[in-house]
Amino acid sequence: GENVEQHPSTLSVQEGDSAVIKCTYSDSASNYFPWYKQELGKRPQLIIDIRSNVGEKKDQRIAVTLNKTAKHFSLHITETQPEDSAVYFCAAPIMEYGNKLVFGAGTILRVKS
Amino acid sequence: GAVVSQHPSRVICKSGTSVKIECRSLDFQATTMFWYRQFPKKSLMLMATSNEGSKATYEQGVEKDKFLINHASLTLSTLTVTSAHPEDSSFYICSARGQVTGELFFGEGSRLTVL
């Protein structure tokens, strides 16, 4: 399968609701899992990341959970706001690529007000 | 956080010409920079890794003679798209790893349109 799979490809939520985006990775040696937010025509920006020695990390409305056994990690956004609308990418270092970050396909998040 | 600057942000050129894109780390030194290509509504595809003082390493399927990379100093990497064709039109983004946290910082991106 793909080195980093991301789902869903698009996600629409009502303002105030929660959004969850999931990624799975293939390399059991991966130890760093960042999430990037990219607004239209702009550069990706890191919003949160997690290392393999913890299972969850939270920063205000954003949280990331990691299940090393199952090799998947998820981005959780609570109390979504219109400005959360963007494309979100997960990534993981894959040994097959020299431990370089491989990005998921991306999720277009639309927050409807 | 660390700042990576990319120039130009937009370029339009005629088919057959070459275009150079610069990527600079403004407040830190980067021995390694990465070049990505991004199609509309698609993910970031790593093209090559730029190594200061040595040859770039290219990902499978990326033509090294087409996409020339030069990493002349610890703060500058350039990508030259040679003999550009319309199919080379894309969004090209560079990145560099911050020295303190190892976080990947991206440049603003360069949108290339080949007529």
Block means of pLDDT (10 residues each) for chain A, length 113 residues? 89 98 94 94 94 94 96 97 97 84 95 95
Please, which residues have CB within 8 angstroms of residue A52's CB and are 6 or more apart in sequence?
A: A30, A31, A32, A33, A66, A68
- Chain B residue numbers touching A101 (CB-CB < 8 A): 46, 104
Q: Which of B45, B61, B110, B43 is nearest to B81 (CA)?
A: B110
Of B43, B102, B109, the CB nearest to A105: B43
Please, which residues have CB within 8 angstroms of residue A41's CB and are 6 or more apart in sequence?
A: B109, B111
Round the average pLDDT of chain B to a whole number and report it: 93
pLDDT value at residue A99: 79
pLDDT value at residue A1: 53
Q: A20 touching B, CB under 8 A? A: no
pLDDT band at B98 (very low <50, low <70, confident <90, very high): confident
Classify the C-alpha dihedral B52-B56-B59-B65 as positive or negative.
Answer: positive
Round the average pLDDT of chain A to a whole number and report it: 94
Helices (H) and strands (E) in chain B, counts: 0, 11
Q: What is the pLDDT of residues B64-83, one digit of tens each?
A: 999 999 998 999 999 999 99
Q: What is the pLDDT of residues A41-67, one digit of tens each?
A: 899 999 999 998 899 999 999 999 999
CA B100 to centroid of chain Cα atoms? 22
Across the range B50-70, mean pLDDT stands at 93
- Chain A residue numbers touching B111 (CB-CB < 8 A): 41
Across the range B71-97, mean pLDDT stands at 95
Across the range B43-60, mean pLDDT stands at 92
User: Is the pLDDT confidence value at B20 over 80?
Assistant: yes
CA–CA separation, B62 and B40 (whole Å): 19
Of B41, B44, B108, the CB nearest to A103: B44
Q: A93 touching B, CB under 8 A? A: no
Q: Which residue has the higher pLDDT, B82 or B2?
A: B82
